[in-house]
Amino acid sequence: MNLIGNIIWLIFGGFAAFLGYMVSGLLFCVSIIGIPFGIQCFKIGLFTLMPFGREIRDVPGPTGCLATLFNIIWVFTGGIWVALCHFFFGVLLTLTVIGIPFGRQHFKLMSLTFAPFGKEIY
């Protein structure tokens, strides 16, 4: 079932979102300061490629103040808008019965894109 969901996800926008995150990651990696943010874009992009059957967990143990600082910078430099877009599409998709599984994936992406530092994907 996860395979079918991932294929439908890719056809209806998942691949375009993947490409968007990859381009953003490459642009972040142009500067040394942006490399941690670029790595997070790559992580989110790979998760966006096939979200069914995968889950997001907090990193066990203390993540430190640097991860908190990076999450704050991430939110104020565009993370809030990406999270709101995933929230909007999640709500829109859950209005129909067929779209509920895809809406749930957008809600998972929303939680990851709001504060990606200190989270892992399994």
pTM recorded for the entire structure: 0.90
- Give the torsion sign (CA, 82, 19, 10, 44): negative
Q: Which residue type is seen at 28?
A: F
pLDDT the model gives residue 64:
78
pLDDT band at 69 (very low <50, low <70, confident <90, very high): very high
Confidence of residue 22 (pLDDT cuts 50, 70, 90): very high
Provide the residue range defining the domain that includes 80.
Answer: 2-121
- Contacting residues for 96 by C-beta, under 8 A, at least 6 apart: none
Confidence of residue 66 (pLDDT cuts 50, 70, 90): confident
- The number of domains in the chain is 1
Enumerate residues 6+ apart whose C-beta is below 8 A from 108. Answer: 51, 55, 56
